[in-house]
Chains A and B, each alone.
Chain A
Amino acid sequence: MKPCSRLALLLVFLLFLAGMHLVSGARFSPIHVVTQALFDYDPKNYQHVVIVRQRLTRLVVAGYAGMVLSVSGLLLQKVLRNGLVSPSTLGINSGAITFVTLGIYLFGLNGAELFWPALFGGITATMVAFLAAGLVNRGNRDPLSLVLGGAMTATLFSAATTFVISLDPERFDDQMSWLIGDIGNFDYQPLIWLWPVGAAGLALALLLSRSLDLLSLGAEQAASLGTDPRLVQWASLAIAIPMAISAVCIVGPIGFVGLVAPHMTRMMIGETGRIPTLFCALLGAAIVIGADILARTLLAPKLLNVGTVMALCGGVAFLALILSTLRRRQA
């Protein structure tokens, strides 16, 4: 099957999942009610309100977060040539959260304003992770040491976050679902301000994908083929971090999409060219939407958190990836 047709197939699957998402929930809504709510919205009908105000907004937020996080993960994995990095395993998410809690505690920021401290935190965390990895590693580039550095960074920042929260728990009352990575009913509000970040990031990632493919041949090869390796590296970091941060600001730390989606993409259609980037974006959206469906229906009428569901599934995937990396290196 050609990559294009696989992409189309994924799109169909995504639409199907989106339909499932709108239909399912604490209370099942028949399909004709959903279509009616979408095309002939009646604000007095309670079911219509639930479908449009709660499920549709959740759907959009979940799709956006999945798309942005997985493209960010793909860029990071390609540019660092390391299959174990992603926004969560590098500690970017934890760094962003620490600075967001600080922003809330010290300056009382809220909504889309939190993007700036989060961005600063993400950049700081990336630098700390590289520094830590440099300490662990001596010369030979081991893909595991960067992950170890990232994990240590995440530990450090999560300790800091806990400390900031313990200063005044009441002030963070509204943020609890955000702190553990859940999609709430009002999460679409910051999305209105932040979606351009994701859109621009995706467009730039598509533009960069050819140079990134050349870079995967090695820096010297890429330079001799007419790309500037340093520029490409910095540019992709400059795209990947704000993209991940824009998702973290909206939904909190949803980990592992950024790790798993690029791997699945690679297994399904390879990684050269522009189509894999698009494929990865759609796949990430599908994964988070699927996790959201599971979170809302597994223990219904109780709600689980998307972040928790993703950590459960993603942690297992992470374990499998580490074990296979180690096996391969041993062989």
Chain B
Amino acid sequence: MRRALLIRSGRHVHIPIALRPAAILLVLLSLLIILAFAALDLGSTPLPAGELLRWLAPFIDATRETDAVLLLRWPRVAVAILGGAMIAASGHLLQIVSRNGLADPGLLGISQGTMAAVVLGAAVLGIPPQWLAPAGLVGGLATAILVLSLAYRLASTTGLILVGLAVSIVLGALIEIVMVQGGMAQFARWLAWSHGSLTAVSAENARMVAIWALPLIVLTLLVARSATPLLLGREQAAAIGAAPQKLALLLTLLSAALVAPIVAVVGPISFLGLIAAHVARKLVGERPQEALPVSMACGALLLLVADTAGRTLFLPLVVPAGILVSVAGVATFLIAARFTSSRR
């Protein structure tokens, strides 16, 4: 029996809240808030905590230096939190759709598809910056449908990943044609972006991401519950009255939409979705309506920690967040692959 808290209001509204997931989510969110404070505070110019609180308070003006320093930091922190949550949600949805614990937008080539559309759109077609994210969405969605339909008939966990890998190699070559047009400094910047880096995030970017993030995150939380039948497999899901094809298409679209703005701003952060979804499932179990929010919180935490550690721990070196995440991700992937294949 699961312990649950039942919220009643009047005769018709009953909201059962499972206690364990709610408690875990609460802990994760408070950790996230503490870490966000720390991330705003840490950096090559240390700020006294009082100054930070003064900056955050609504009606008191902080000193000009604090303002200047925090203008550089808050977009990074905001994008790390929102981006981490979105990538994690996208990875989790893809794992539900493909019924494959190894799925991740970076590993299925969706991020690369988005990236190719963004790069080619910007460099070849001259699309203005505010339209890059929608262009990326089209690219990512096309790649997602291509990879998932190629691997659809092949019931193999590793097969899907390898198909995604091959598609990303071809897309990577397309991106490379554009990447080498500038000099080496330009190439190094592209290279850092192609692993995911929050160094160049501006306040403008943060606003753009926020505009995409809020409706998408709400939508994800709303559809989470209806994704549950997909966990049973297509035939079973159809048997209990869900429309698996339609649902899978919708969720794939949603997961492509979730990564598009992040890839456009930060670059593909592979493995983040994979790690977050696995941690979340270990913590609260399979049910999407409980696991998805937890995995979003985990993703936000992970990206925030990776970015803050990358820019503070190894000073004067700055390690892009994507690199730290990939290193942690490869290890998680291998362990996850072992357990996923033994379950089948």
Contact = CB atoms under 8 A, between A and B. Distances in A.
Interface of A: 132, 135-138, 142, 144-145, 147-149, 151-152, 155-156, 158-160, 162-163, 165-167, 169-170, 172-173, 175-177, 179-180, 255, 304-305, 307-309, 311-312, 314-316, 318-319, 322-323, 326-327, 329-330
B13 interface: no
B194 to A, nearest CB: 8
Contact of A311 (B150, B170, B342): B170
Given A135-B338, A156-B327, A319-B166, A142 B158 contact: yes
Contact of A162 (B162, B170, B191): B191
Contact of B176 (A165, A180, A330): A180
Contacts of B270: 155
Contacts of A255: 169
B159 A167 contact: no
A316 B192 CA distance: 26
A311 B176 contact: yes
Contacts of B167: 315, 319
Nearest to B159: A326
B173 A330 contact: no
A144 B156 contact: yes
A144 B162 contact: yes
A151 B165 contact: yes
Interface in B169-187: 169-170, 172-174, 176-177, 179-180, 183-185, 187
B147 to A, nearest CB: 10
A327 B176 contact: no
Interface of B: 150, 154-156, 158-159, 161-163, 165-167, 169-170, 172-174, 176-177, 179-180, 183-185, 187-189, 191-192, 194-195, 270, 317-320, 322-323, 326-327, 330, 333-335, 337-338, 341-342
B321 to A, nearest CB: 11
Contacts of B156: 144, 326, 329-330
Contacts of B158: 136, 142, 144-145, 148
Nearest to A304: B177
A312 B185 contact: no
B5 to A, nearest CB: 41
Contacts of B317: 167
B102 to A, nearest CB: 9
Contacts of B320: 162-163, 166
Given A148-B162, A162-B191, A318 B334 contact: no
Contacts of A312: 170, 173-174
Given A148-B337, A155-B330, A308-B177, A166 B184 contact: no
A156 B158 CA distance: 18
A315 B333 CA distance: 22
A151 to B, nearest CB: 5
A68 to B, nearest CB: 21
B238 to A, nearest CB: 22
A176 B184 CA distance: 6
Nearest to A309: B173
B6 to A, nearest CB: 44
A326 B179 CA distance: 33
A218 to B, nearest CB: 25
Given A151-B165, A323-B163, A136 B338 contact: yes
A307 B174 CA distance: 11
Contacts of B323: 159-160, 162-163
B154 A308 contact: no
28 contacts: A132-B330, A135-B334, A135-B337, A135-B338, A138-B338, A144-B156, A145-B337, A147-B162, A148-B337, A152-B334, A159-B323, A159-B326, A160-B323, A162-B191, A162-B192, A163-B319, A165-B188, A167-B317, A179-B187, A180-B176, A180-B179, A308-B176, A311-B170, A311-B173, A312-B173, A315-B167, A319-B170, A322-B166
Contacts of A318: 166, 169
A161 to B, nearest CB: 8
Nearest to B329: A155
Contacts of B166: 315-316, 318-319, 322
B191 A166 contact: yes
Contacts of A330: 154-156
Nearest to B177: A308
B335 A135 contact: yes
B199 to A, nearest CB: 9
Contacts of A151: 161-162, 165
A155 B330 CA distance: 8
A275 to B, nearest CB: 31
Given A311-B173, A315-B170, A144 B334 contact: no
Contacts of A322: 159, 162-163, 166
B73 to A, nearest CB: 20
